[in-house]
Structure 1
């Protein structure tokens, strides 16, 4: 059984870029009424005024208009006296624990005033060591909110409903660092908690608690987090991960969860989660995600239309989720909050952001990741099968996939023996009908998964109409990626290989579409650069080198240099090259993969959805630097500057996305 593929395993240099891309032009600062919007007063189990009066009269936490630390004689430091008093938390050893104790003391006092006991508590256990389980992630949240009965040392990123990041004062750099830390925390929570709809977090900088000050709203915020119900904290009430068995509901039908196959660790975007489930003795896959309502096509509708296409994951049921009488959308989370805030400076920008609806689809056909191929012949055969499925969708149903990636090409578990299993194409959420008029005004016109996007799509100045040959080019990149990042069936390259230092890094490392497009173009076009990539192919895949070269030559000559006159010719050529490669491969005994751990490559940048970019200012590069050693950090900087210089006269396009 495969372990869940958590999406939060990227190293810091990658996540900073990904988070910046996700939240660009989508953060709304200083929104009045945000706390009350998340935690409506009539849903609270305590009276805020009553709790405030109790804290003033029966505790020493609040005296003479100032909040005092529970275990210190000094008041909580303000920005003005932070230097004189010293770091109350942050860099001072144990400072985070003092703040956690302070939060808990306030929560306890709220409980005393209302006669209820807190079900959660704050812990600073992980302020100095990474919160498990990610070996490659060194994130150390300053304080986390944990269930009352859980020892702090046993915590895991799947546990906290909320986190807090602390700084000793509210100077701009401290606020920026705290915000960045909280964004990373939120991304990891999304990547480990499959039933999260949104995340509520705190930043405490000096005497300021974002989104509020240390006044009665401090009581409101802490009380709401500790005593609020799970739905208000961002959990999905239709998913129960604490029951035995765990369950998920679609159309009032309850399915038993067997596995959480994949969680997309993103703060914004689709946030896709795949569940392997069972009901009445039949197994299914449930896809839970947030769909952009601006898109012309609905994935469930397209799946129903293409239900007779072989090799495509088949539709069984679907639902747009509702909470009570309200559609579960990003509009219901935040857009209504701004209805009465006509003077809010960013209200117009927010109204222009896309709306996402919470959608769930039940699929009849189950697959395993393509990295779990049993033989090389099976691997190439899966590409042939899924390209044929892609062609049938395009030619017979006028449906274009537009997101060919490592995760969307799978091996169909249809009962065939290992080595003989066919391919399965999944995830047509970004698909469009080719017989409809091309819409240049869609908010996220540039679709795909960054490392596998076609060069033409990456380099486009404005909206680009995605074509079938762009998807075929993406198939080639996925095969190339596997040949470099894998060393055999179900086996990623060992610790001696680092994709962030490999030639593949140029396909995803830059936070800009055009820089990636320029880098990818050079890596294929320049003989020396392409030779360097071929040199990184693992010896297990040596027999596929000629196939890789033939595909590279095909796409450079037919899709990058000139627009093809016949898509059918491209399909035929690609299938011919792959068929010739498969026939030349020797027969081999299939490898059993029953006990293989998570097979995804070390870095999850392949799953990063690239769906729009901010317009860039023209890069002004000047000065000279000494040639660095290959592979050194300075070399990477130099490479980036070269690419920026090459693309400095071209601007990307801007998309608008929402934060919820």
Structure 2
């Protein structure tokens, strides 16, 4: 005898169904007539102990919890009563088979009970990271950006042993040429290097340092050109600290930098796309800290990443007084060399600046897999065993961040098929995550609707290996052996000791210390990892190619098209859920429309997870677009499909506030602070928007653009569905899908409401 049969026999329903049959008979004329919610309320058996102990075979929890969800579903307008006929037949039968009643109850509730949510455990959910890429419709004012950028960069590793060798070893002939230049600099009656560099301004104010730096780099450039007269690299030092660089959202100025030299272009027309190596100057060595020089340089590196869609990493330098560091920014964060005094380690300074002038694009961080032929950019992939060229036509999406997935998308076409539109997507993923290309292929093969269709995917190869940060970009450097900055008093003592040696001609051993920085003594304290057993994070570059091309949903030609596109998106999300995938990143960038074909679809399964996953991936963190995150997600609830459905509401609300006809951005609004607020404050702000209907209508009247004012009644109806009685839903409800789609499509039968 099965355990379930024994449980039912030991806990008979008995007379518990008499009231159900009586109510049923009073309401129904025949056994096949659908029953009303009142009868089902009795059927829930609130007082029957077995419903609270009999475990469901088809979902987590007990049958009682599923019955209570069934009651909630019955109360909705579109409930199909045919679902419960078999259960009602068993319940009202004069010859009741109680085991059959419980089995039918489980069968019925399984149809309306959503897939099980992961338990609220830190093992189930990867923590969210707040990065500058989560900004939408932002002015990017420095007072907002700096704090988030500091969080984004996290714990910076400085004084990483072997840094110079790792990033400069590819520059052929660099060491020999640097030695030659430095030897020449120490010769003659008026040497360039004696007692430090000639002309170095000891007060180290910015204008004087820039003037000196321009002169010394000019001499280096002339030397480099004579040494390599046929070099294709044409570079110069940009020295315009008071002139904004073109290409920024907010006004950004650059102290100094190595840039492409474009004939006929003045320094006043410099653009971030021309910047090869940004630099930051400070007059005082004590400014060699996170909150000062390092963060400023990080701000510049972010602008370089944004403006150059084929950049894998960005090198830079800081010069605080005469104390110099070389930096590398990549999708994991920032690392830096040991500091050195340019007036003491003159050879190191020569190698650094000459290296910047001589490096090829690959060594500077540009992507060699993106090539050019006849002024057209392309990549090559191996598909179905054959090489195939994919031409990149234009950038669709470029992230505004340093750290993270850094998803970049291009409109593309396969060679020989100009009529075929594709989308090429690249992102830097934690290797622990599911491969997005595999998920998309599975979704396409299973016929998931309203989700971008699969064409190809691969892990990008670089020098014969997977292109990752730890192995390829950072050349295997062990950042755990890096160091934290020394206390200020120790730094001053070191500089005094350094100054006492300034002016002494370097010995061969001093030269060796420059060429092999691993051998140099350290005066800083080692970085202690948060967990010695936890491996340092890594990211790998993955490429996905999609068959569907579209514009962002906020570019819809009319409010009606916007609503229809959102409905398609909700249906696509449900289709993914039925396949066993939860999207988890609904935003204005992940909903696309193709008005020519009359379609709309979801993209970006980077953060999607399989519903049966019982543990977190092991990835160090995940990001989302905060303006669209559900209130519960901000409060660290385990992510469910209900959070994604709420995100659809916030997408519509945000578009109505920020966009006019054809996706015209009206600029910053009162909601800009949603990009920067802490999670709990942002959750409270969102509650304040939706909790009271009269207040919501007032806010909509004040904030919705004229283009979307006609949508206010409909958006309010959607608010009621997503937030019944002005409160966020605590229980999952699959029927919310159909309710939202019905509201979004209601204008199709009554377009006059949009007039």
Q: Common fold, TM-score beyond 0.5?
A: yes
Equivalent residue, structure 2, for 1:454: 630
Q: What CA distance in whole angstroms lies between the structure 2 residues aligned with 1:529 and 1:95? A: 57
Partner Cα separation in structure 2 for residue 209 and residue 234 of structure 1: 21
Residue number in structure 1 paired with 2:738: 572
**Residue in 2 aligned with 1:299?**
436
Judged with a 3 Å threshold, the aligned counterparts in structure 2 of structure 1 residues 161 and 249 are, in CA distance, closer, same or farther, namely: farther
1:358-369 to 2 correspondences below 5 Å: 358-369=541-552
Match of 2:363, SS state, is coil
Q: TM-score, normalised by structure 1?
A: 0.76
**2:350 equivalent to 1:177:** no
Which whole-Å CA distance do the structure 2 matches of 1:455 and 1:486 have between them?
A: 23
Structure 2 counterpart SS, 1:63: coil
2:175 touches 2:351 (CA, 8 Å); kept in 1? Answer: no
Distance 1:368 1:273, change over 3 A: same
* Residue 561 to residue 273, structure 1, CA distance change in 2 (3 Å): closer
1:478 corresponds, among 631, 641, 651, to 651
Question: Is the Cα contact below 8 Å between 1:169 and 1:205 reproduced in 2?
Answer: yes
Residue by residue over 1:138-160, the C-alpha shift from the partner in whole angstroms, topping out at 9 and shown as x without a partner, is: 11101121224443434311111
In structure 1, the gaps of 5 or more residues are 69-73, 83-87, 590-660
2:736 is paired with a residue whose SS is helix
Superposed CA deviations along residues 519-546 of structure 1, whole A, max 9, x for unmatched, are: 2222322567634531211232222112
The C-alpha deviation readout for 1:75-127, integer Å capped at 9, x for no partner, is 342xxxx2xxxxx442x4x7534423322323434555677768343333532
**For 2:137 and 2:689, how far apart are their aligned partners in 1?**
27
Report the secondary structure of 1:274's partner residue: strand
Q: What is the deviation of 1:334?
A: 3.0
Q: CA separation in 2, counterparts of 1:272 and 1:131?
A: 24
Q: Which residue of 2 aligns with 1:647?
A: none
Counterpart for residue 410 of structure 1: 592
Q: After alignment, is 552-561 or 354-363 more displaced?
A: 552-561
**Quick one: structure 1 residues 559 and 355, their matched pair in 2 at CA, closer, same or farther if it must change by over 3 Å?**
farther
Equivalent of 1:370, from 553, 556, 561? 553
Deviation digits for residues 590-630 of structure 1 (CA, Å, limit 9, x no counterpart): xxxxxxxxxxxxxxxxxxxxxxxxxxxxxxxxxxxxxxxxx
Report the equivalent of 2:582: 400
Worse overlay, 478-487 or 213-222: 213-222
Say which of 378, 389, 410 aligns to 1:247: 378
Please name the residue that 1:385 is paired with: 568
| Residue 7 of structure 1: how far off its partner (Å) | 10
Written as runs of structure 1 = structure 2, the 5 A alignment for 1:325-336 is 325-332=464-471, 333-334=473-474, 336=476
State how far apart, in whole Å, the 2-side matches of 1:424 and 1:75 are: 60
| 2:252 corresponding residue in structure 1 | 139
Counterpart of 1:188? 303
Partner of 1:256: 391
Secondary structure at 1:348 match in 2 = coil
Deviation, 1:243, is 5.5
Partner residue of 2:601? 424
CA distance in structure 2 between the aligned counterparts of 1:375 and 1:582, rounded to whole angstroms: 13
Q: State the match for 2:458 in structure 1.
A: 319
Q: 1:173 to 1:244 in 2, by over 3 A?
A: closer
1:550 aligned to 2:717?
Answer: yes
Aligned mates of 1:107, 1:8 — CA distance in 2:
40
Contact 2:422 2:548 (8 Å CA) reproduced: yes
- Separation in structure 2 between the aligned mates of residue 423 and residue 24 of structure 1, nearest angstrom: 37
Worse overlay, 284-293 or 248-257: 248-257
How far residue 304 of structure 1 moved from its aligned partner, in angstroms, is 0.5
Distance 2:320 2:233 in 1: 26
Is 1:128 aligned to residue 242 of structure 2?
A: yes
Measure how far apart 1:470 and its partner are: 0.5
Aligned to 1:75: 200
* Separation in 2, partners of 1:125, 1:242: 33
| Structure number with larger C-alpha Rg | 2
Tell me, yes or no, if structure 1 residue 108 matches structure 2 residue 248.
Answer: no
Matched, 1:288 2:471: no
CA distance in 2, matches of 1:541, 1:105: 60
Deviation per CA, 1:488-538, whole angstroms, max 9, x where unpaired? 223222xxx632xx1x2342232x222222222223225676345312112
CA deviations on 1:163-194 (whole Å, 9 max, x unpaired) are 11112221238874322221111001000101
Q: Which runs of 5+ in 2 are unaligned?
A: 1-134, 327-338, 484-524
Aligned to 2:122: none
Deviation of residue 367 (structure 1)?
0.6
Distance 1:323 1:558 in 2: 55
Partner of 2:354: 223
Does the CA-based 8 Å contact 2:288-2:320 persist in structure 1? Answer: no
CA contact (8 A) 2:711 2:754 kept: no
State the Cα RMSD in Å: 3.0
1:465 offset after TM fit, Å? 2.3
SS in structure 2 of the partner of residue 387 of structure 1 = helix
CA distance in 2, matches of 1:242, 1:208: 43
> 526-535 or 342-351: which moved more?
342-351
**Are 1:121 and 1:148, in contact at CA under 8 Å, matched by a contact in 2?**
yes
In the other structure, the counterpart of 1:338 is 478
In structure 1, the residue matched to 2:513 is: none
Deviations 1:367-420 (A, max 9, x none): 11112212221110000111101101101x10111000010011025x43xxxx
Verify: 1:52 aligned to 2:177, yes or no.
Answer: no
Stretch of structure 1 that moved more, 152-161 or 424-433: 152-161
User: Equivalences for 1:348-363 in 2 at 5 Å?
Assistant: 348-349=529-530, 352-363=535-546
Distance 1:67 1:305, change over 3 A: same
Give the whole-Å Cα distance in 2 for the aligned partners of 1:133 and 1:339: 33
Match of 2:638 in 1: 465
Measured in 1, the distance between the counterparts of 2:607 and 2:424 equals: 17
Q: Residues 97 and 124 of structure 1 are in contact (CA less than 8 Å); yes or no, is this contact kept in structure 2?
A: no
Change (3 A) 1:241 1:61: farther
The answer (yes or no) to whether the contact 1:167–1:175 under 8 Å persists in 2 is no
Between 1:223-232 and 1:541-550, the stretch displaced more is 541-550
Question: How many matched pairs?
Answer: 548
1:268 maps to what in 2? 403
Q: Is 2:155 the partner of 1:40? A: no
Deviation digits for residues 238-295 of structure 1, max 9, x if unmatched?
Answer: 1136851122233353222211222112111011111111222222110011111122
Instruction: Compute the displacement of 1:11 (Å).
Output: 3.0
Counterparts of 2:631 and 2:138, CA distance in 1: 27
TM-score of the superposed pair, with normalisation by structure 2: 0.67
Q: Which residue of 2 aligns with 1:439?
A: 616
